Amino acid sequence: MAYYDRTYRLGFGGGLTTAIKYLLLANGAVFLLQMVLPTSGGEQLLIKWFGMRPALVLSKFYVWQLFTYIFLHGDPWHLIINMFFLWMFGCEVERTLGTREFLKYYFICGVGAGIFHLVINFNSPTVVVGASGAIYGVMVAFAVLFPERVITLLLFLILPVQIKAKYLVMIFAGISLLLGAFGSNDGVAHFAHLGGMLVGFAYLKLGWRLDHLTTWMRQQRESRQAVQDLKKHQAMQRIRERVDEILDKINEVGYDQLDENEKRILQEASEKFSQEKEPES
């Protein structure tokens, strides 16, 4: 298909889609709030309460930070670079997935990136901010949807280099893995980036969709209910067989000849049968 073979140039062009427009506005507005709100203990107030600190998420259950850290950024360049990549890759992904599905995917990648970083750095008091994990997930979505699309990059802002989307994303993943595994002093949460990519790939490629999860949970409930109904039916069938035996004995020797256990069985069976016949409210 020619559509997948088109060259995709990292440059200006293409109208904003709905979700991307509002995400750009939201991130920009939050960054302005970061600048104008007072600091607390030498730290921006929003980052103090809404940036993600693994130690606080786990020890004090600040779980909202897994969602809010996505809208915070450390400095203007951090914000600009993230929003640039969100615009370049996100618009076409949104057009393909649809606005609602794209937003769901974006936040799943962002939260997944935070959880991935949290698991690896569970005792870290260092705050994590930025939409990078979610955006790395968007880049994975672009590579999954358009793997053969050729992207033109300006190396060192001068030399044009062409590379397919799938290879570009592999390079980003490899860099995140290497820098995260061997450590770096650049202050970047590389495992969060990698987590966003892995969660995004699993969601799109391996069927980790929320609707699949909902269907699986419903099937599990229905399966457990079916087993319970079968066991109940078998138990009632055994009771009926036992009651039939006792009734036959009554016909032969009379009720007074029953022992206490047989009388108890009849009483319990009578109660169970009456409950089954009661109409449901």
pTM over 0.85: no
152-180 pLDDT per residue, tens = 776 655 677 788 888 888 988 888 888 87
Kindly report, residue by residue over 14-28, the tens digit of the pLDDT. 578 999 999 999 999
- The superfamily in CATH containing domain 2-207 is Rhomboid-like (1.20.1540.10)
- Residue 224 scores a pLDDT above 50: yes
**How confident is the model over 226-240, as pLDDT tens digits?**
888 787 778 778 878
Among the residues of the chain, which ranges form H helices?
2-5, 18-36, 45-50, 54-59, 65-68, 76-97, 99-120, 132-145, 165-182, 190-205, 210-253, 260-277
Query: With 60 as the cut, is the pLDDT of residue 211 above it?
Result: no
pLDDT at 11 over 60: no
DSSP string, 62-104: -TTHHHHGGG--SSHHHHHHHHHHHHHHHHHHHHHH-HHHHHH
Q: How confident is the model at residue 6 (pLDDT cuts 50, 70, 90)?
A: very low
What strand order describes the sheet that includes 150-155? Answer: 7-9, 150-155, 159-164
